[in-house]
Amino acid sequence: MKNIKLTIMYDGSRFLGWQRLGSEHGEKSIQDILEQNISKLLGEAIKIIGSGRTDTGVHAFAQIANFHTRSTMGLEDIFRTLNHSLPEGISITDIEEVQKEFHSRYDAKSKTYEYHIDTREVANVFTRKYALHEPFSYDINAMKEASRYLIGEHDFQAFASRMNDDRTTIRIIESIDIDKEEDEIRISIKGNGFLYHMVRIMVGTLILVGKGKMKPEDIKRILESRNRKNAGPTVSSVGLFLKRVEY
C-alpha cells in the first residue's frame, strides 16, 4: 500500500468547495472530482484526504491532499494522466510518495491564507472572482497596527462564525502581512489552524479599521469579549486563497 501526496491548485469559483458532497448533488466538490478521476485511473475506490475544507468560492495555490493505493502505476504516469483528465479549474502541481503514516490534515504545522481586495472605483471584470471589490482609500498603517493584536496565541471565538467540532477556540497566528500594490491590497495570514470563517472575519475587521470605522486597539477588546457580534463582517469568499501548507 502506497501513500501518495498531491499539491493541488484550483479555481474555487467553479466548484462547490472542497468537501465531498455525494452523488445526490448535481454539482460537485473538488474532493468528489478528484476521487472519481483517481479511482477511475487506478481501478480502485480512492478516498482522498485534504489538509482542510475550503468553502465554495475559496481558491487554492497549494492545497495538500493524500490518498492510499495498491496500484503499481508510476507517479509520472499518474501525474500526467490525472492532469489530462481533470476539468478546467483544477491542476495537480506536484506528486510524491510519502510515509504511510502521513496525514495531510493532522500533520499540518501551519497554513497560510491570502486575501485580495480590489480598491479601485470601478471593478476589474477580469478579477472580480478572485478579489473582493471594496473601493476605498484605506489606512494601511492602521490596518497593520491592528493586525499586531491578532498575532500570537489567543482565544479567537469572536472571530468564528459558529462553533464546530473544534475542542478549543485557541489558535496561534504566526504572522500577518498587509501589502498594497497599485489598486490591490493583499493580506497574508499564517497560523497553526483556523476556526470556521476565521480568516474572512479577521479580514472584515481589518477592513473596518482601514476605513476608520474601528480603531486598531479595538482588536484587543474584541478578542477579550469572545463575542462574534463585536468583530467585523464575514467578507466574501471570492478573494480568499489557500496559499501554503507546511509540515
User: What are the grid coordinates assigned to 25, written together?
Assistant: 448533488
| CA terminus-to-terminus distance, the chain | 22
Count of residues making up the chain: 247
Q: 45 is written with which cell numbers?
A: 475506490
For the annotated catalytic residues, the residue numbers are 55
User: Helices (DSSP H) in the chain: which residue ranges?
Assistant: 30-42, 75-85, 140-148, 198-210, 218-225
Residue 113, marked binder: yes
Tell me the residue type at 150: L
Segments of the chain assigned E as strands: 2-10, 49-50, 59-69, 90-98, 110-118, 132-133, 152-155, 170-181, 184-191, 240-246
- Cβ atoms of 12 and 33 within 8 Å: the answer is no
Question: Binding site for substrate: which residues?
Answer: 113
Question: Binding site: which residues?
Answer: 113
